[in-house]
């Protein structure tokens, strides 16, 4: 389950479920590791949401690659990977692993543009 914490403006990932999913399907762990390796290249902006949905530099879209690994499009035989909750937990973990948005026009939870 993902919960929102108004104190730090971030979702909190259910770490137990995330670890279970990563152990069930190694490619998910590889995807999260790749997200952790991405660095803001210092250009005019960086957008973690663009990186997640469309790719960044030499990294293809995380969202497209997740489709067959977790959630409704999952082809793994274990049904625990086929749920919306599994998709949301992995998606949120990947988004949290990416560098923060910078000068991209995204709005934070308070409704302010990110620096």
Residue pLDDT, tens place only, 42-99: 999 999 999 999 999 889 999 999 999 999 999 999 999 999 999 999 999 999 999 9
Domain segments of the chain: what residues?
Answer: 10-97
Q: Which two tokens stand for residue 58?
A: 């030499």
* Cα–Cα dist 40/16, whole Å: 29
Would you say residue 8 has pLDDT above 80? no
Instruction: Enter the pTM of the model.
Output: 0.84
């Amino acid at each position: 389950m993902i919960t929102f914490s108004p104190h730090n403006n971030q979702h909190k990932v259910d770490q137990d479920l995330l670890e279970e999913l990563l152990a069930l399907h190694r490619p998910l762990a590889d995807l999260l590791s790749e997200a952790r390796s991405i660095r803001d290249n210092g250009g005019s902006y960086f957008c973690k949401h663009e990186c997640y949905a469309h790719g960044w530099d030499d990294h293809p879209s995380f969202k497209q690659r997740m489709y067959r690994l977790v959630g409704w499009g999952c082809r793994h035989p274990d049904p625990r990977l086929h749920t919306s909750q599994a998709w949301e937990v992995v998606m949120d973990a990947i988004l949290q692993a990416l560098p923060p948005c910078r000068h991209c026009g995204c709005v934070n939870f308070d409704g302010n543009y990110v620096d």
